[in-house]
Amino acid sequence: MNAHWKEHFDDDVAFHRRTAAIYDCVNTEPRLLANDLLFGPLDRRVAPGDALLDLGCGTGQMLLRYASRFKRAIGVEYSRDGKPESVRARGEVIVSSGAGLRSFPGAAAYGATKAAQRGFGEALRHELGGTGVGLTMVYPGEIVSSLHDHERATLPDWYRGGPGAVPAAKLAEATLAAIDRDQRGLYYPPLVRTLRIAHGISPRLADRMLRALRGRSAAPRLD
C-alpha cells in the first residue's frame, strides 16, 4: 500500500473506529458472518499473487486481519475512487442490496447509499477491463439475521427479515460461485431480479408488485 493510500486508509480507520464503537456494542453479527461465511471459504481460494480490494472497508479491522494472506491489500471507504494502479486478482465483489434497485419508504438514506454502490460498481467493472480483475455486484434481498432485533418494533410493515428470510450461508455460496463465473450481477433470492426487471420496465409496475407482496407500506402511492 503506497503512502497516498495509507494516508486515506488511516483516516478511514480513525473515523470509523469512533462511529462504529456504539454499533459494535449493539450487534457483532456482521463481523461474525464475514468470518464464518465469506472470508472462511475465500481462504481456500487465495492463490499466490492474489490481491484484496475491500470496497467499503468500514473500520478496516477485517481488512487488516486478512491482508497477510494476499500479496497486496487496499481498503476503500465511502466515495473515494477504489481503482488501484495495478491489481492481480481474479474477482472483486461489491455487496449492494435489492434496495439499490428500488428504494423503500422508511429507508430512503439506506437505498440511496446502495444505489450509489450500484453506479460505482457498474462503472468500475468496465474500468477494470483488461486488468484480469472481474467485478460482481451482489444484490441481496432480506437475509436471516438478528441485525435489526434491537429495533424490530420500529421497522416498517414491509420488512420481512428474520428467521423466515433467506439463510446467509446460501447467499455466501451463491456469491462465491458468481465470483468464479465473473458474473456481472447476482440477484438473490431470484425475486430480487424480478424486482429489477419490473422497476426497469415501469416503476409503477414495481410499485404494484411490491404492494401486492408486502402491503401498502411498501408502495403508499401508485401514481
Q: What is the pLDDT of residues 26-83, one digit of tens each?
A: 445 555 555 555 555 555 666 667 766 665 555 556 666 666 666 666 665 543 444 4
Q: Could you tell me if 58 and 113 lie in one domain?
A: no
Angle (nearest 5°) at CA 121 between 120 and 124: 85
CB contact at 8 A, 94 and 47: no
Give the range among 47-51, 166-170, 183-187 with minimum mean pLDDT: 47-51
* Together in a domain, 141 and 53: no
Structural domain boundaries, residue 64: 1-30+42-83
- Rounded CA-CA distance 24/22 in Å is 5
User: Average pLDDT in the 156-180 region?
Assistant: 86
Query: Do residue 199 and residue 166 come from a single domain?
Result: yes
Letter string b/e over residues 84-110, b meaning 16 or more CB atoms within 10 A of that residue's CB: beebebebbbbbbbbbbbbbbeebeee
Shared-domain flag, residues 169 and 142:
yes
pLDDT: is 89 or 145 the higher one? 145
Cα–Cα separations (whole angstroms), residue 95 to 56, 120, 133: 9, 11, 17
pLDDT of residue 206: 96
Q: Are residues 79 and 95 in the same domain?
A: no
Predicted local distance difference test score (pLDDT) of residue 72: 64
Residue reference for cell 408486502: 214
Residue 11 has pLDDT above 50, yes or no: yes
222 belongs to a structural domain? yes
Whether 112 and 199 share a structural domain: yes
Number of structural domains, the chain? 2
Whether residues 103 and 62 fall in one domain: no
Query: From the CA atom positions of the chain, what is the Rg in Å?
Result: 18
Domain membership of residue 36 (yes or no) is no
Kindly state whether residue 20 falls inside one of the protein's structural domains: yes
Same domain, 59 and 3: yes
Q: How confident is the model at residue 217 (pLDDT cuts 50, 70, 90)?
A: very high
Q: Is residue 35 part of a domain?
A: no
Q: Does any domain span residue 52? A: yes
Residues 98 and 201 in one domain: yes
Among 20, 52, 83, identify where a domain stops: 83
What percent of the chain shows pLDDT beyond 90? 29
Q: Report which residue type is found at 39.
A: F
Whether residue 84 has pLDDT greater than 50: no
Are 22 and 123 within one domain? no
Q: Give the per-residue pLDDT at 55.
A: 57
Which burial class, exposed, middle or buried, applies to 82 when counting CB atoms under 10 A from its CB (0-12, 13-18, 19+)?
A: buried
Residue 209 lies in a domain: yes
Looking at the fold, whether 47 and 105 belong to one and the same domain comes out as: no
Same domain, 4 and 61: yes
Confidence of residue 85 (pLDDT cuts 50, 70, 90): very low
